[in-house]
Amino acid sequence: MQQDVYVIIPVYNEAPVIGAVVGAVSRVFSNIVCVNDGSYDDSAAEIVKTGAVLINHPFNLGQGAALKTGIDYALQDADAAYFITFDSDGQHQIADAVGMLEVLKEGAYDIVLGSRFLGRADNISLIRASVLKAAVAFSNLTTGVRLTDAHNGLRVFNRRYARQIDITMPGMAHATEFVHAIATGKFKYTELPVTILYTEYSKKKSQSLFNSINIGFDLLMRRISKK
Amino acid sequence: MIVIQVLLICGIVAVFGWLLLNPRSQQVHAWIKILAAAFTTFGVVVIISPGTSDRIAHSVGVGRGADLLLYSIAVSFVYVMVSVYTRNIDEQEKFEKMARAIALLDTRVRELNDLLTETQEQKKKT
């Protein structure tokens, strides 16, 4: 087990699958931090059963805030050197995370991002793929960081990057903050192909495409008002 | 281009630019209050003497005083909206930091509690 690796899983109402997801991760990694982001189902109880660290947000703050809480917790351990962000709905493959970690450990990069468009996105709808591509184009244009997939939750990064990343965006707009931090901190980055499994469960859980309008607005307002 | 069009465009651009450059200044919040007072006064003038407001409107190229009021409200609405949104972002960030601190503290307390229970159990055994 790799003691210097922390896997951070933001959780919001994932009781039916979280046990299995954490179970799969725990076969490879021992430090698993689940941030229960104000779930009103049995997610917390399911996490306790797995033996992973459970952090309870007092109320729902959004996935970005949950990731930040998990990263802050992991940073308290001075030996934590590598950080993995992993979705709780079963879309990500642990083998992909392991592959990305290996690349990061070679030392050439500060952050390795997963890309479903370099790899496989099973059962992705045409409209979802189009919106995600538009998000990538927007992200590339505004940050100058060239990526093929800007909204992939599977990321592996080192301690230096973890200390730098500050997530303040509401909802799902935080994905752009990860990219923005790469640009501002001049971090070395690369993308690796990953497989995203769009199961019936994850499709039901995934955000509405209309939310991309909210994300765009939030990004614009923040970008301008933070100057 | 009539005077009011120039004024409105300049107004919107100036309000937006100034607000976005100084979203958190005391001045911004003071201006919101000044604007509210100005609108109340102007509103009263329009009600009491429609002729006066019409004359002001004519002088900048607008047909009626009521229309001028509407245009001014439109510019002010943008101003207030951006200002409130910015303030809301700040509040949200503070709120989030506090919630995170509570969550991390709660986790630490639970971990220490577990450790204590474990130690006590070990003591009992020995």
pLDDT greater at residue A42 or residue B70: A42
- Could you give the CA distance from residue A102 to residue A156 in angstroms, rounded to a whole number? 10
Domain boundaries, chain A: 5-225
Does the pLDDT of residue B9 top 80, yes or no?
A: no
* CATH 3.40.190.10 applies to domain A5-225: no
Q: Which residues of chain B does A55 touch, with a Cβ-Cβ cutoff of 8 Å? A: 103-104, 106-107
- State the pTM of this model: 0.79
Mean residue pLDDT of chain A comes to 85
> Is A39 exposed, middle or buried, given 0-12, 13-18 or 19+ CB atoms closer than 10 A?
buried
Give me the number of domains chain B comprises.
1
Of A122, A71, A70, which is closest to residue A93 (Cα–Cα)?
A122
Q: Which residues of chain A does B103 touch, with a Cβ-Cβ cutoff of 8 Å? A: 35, 55-58, 69
Query: Could you tell me the pLDDT band of residue A227, with boundaries at 50, 70 and 90?
Result: very low
Calculate the alpha carbon distances from B51 to B4, B48, B55, B57, B65 in Å. Answer: 18, 9, 6, 10, 8
A74 to chain B: closest CA residue: B104
Residue of B96, B104, B112 to mutate for A, most A C-beta atoms under 10 A: B96
- pLDDT (tens digit, 9 = 90+) per residue, B77-117? 877 787 788 788 888 889 999 999 999 999 999 999 999 99
Q: Do B85 and A53 touch (CB under 8 A)?
A: no
Position B63 scores a pLDDT of: 80
Q: Is B23 on the interface with A (CB under 8 A)?
A: yes
CA dihedral sign of residues A18, A88, B112, A31: positive
Does the pLDDT of residue A226 top 60, yes or no?
A: no
Q: 3-class SS at A54?
A: strand
**Cβ-based neighbour number of residue B3 at 10 Å:** 11
Q: Which residues of chain A does B21 touch, with a Cβ-Cβ cutoff of 8 Å? A: 227
Q: Is A174 on the interface with B (CB under 8 A)?
A: no
- pLDDT (tens digit, 9 = 90+) per residue, A75-127? 999 999 999 999 998 889 999 999 999 999 999 999 999 988 776 666 677 77
Query: Could you tell me the pLDDT band of residue A172, with boundaries at 50, 70 and 90?
Result: low
Q: Is A63 on the interface with B (CB under 8 A)?
A: no
Domain that holds residue B100: 3-125
Of A71, A89, A74, A72, which is closest to residue A21 (Cα–Cα)?
A89
Q: Give the distance from residue A69's alpha carbon to the nearest chain B alpha carbon, in angstroms.
A: 6
- Could you give the CA distance from residue B30 to residue B35 in angstroms, rounded to a whole number? 9
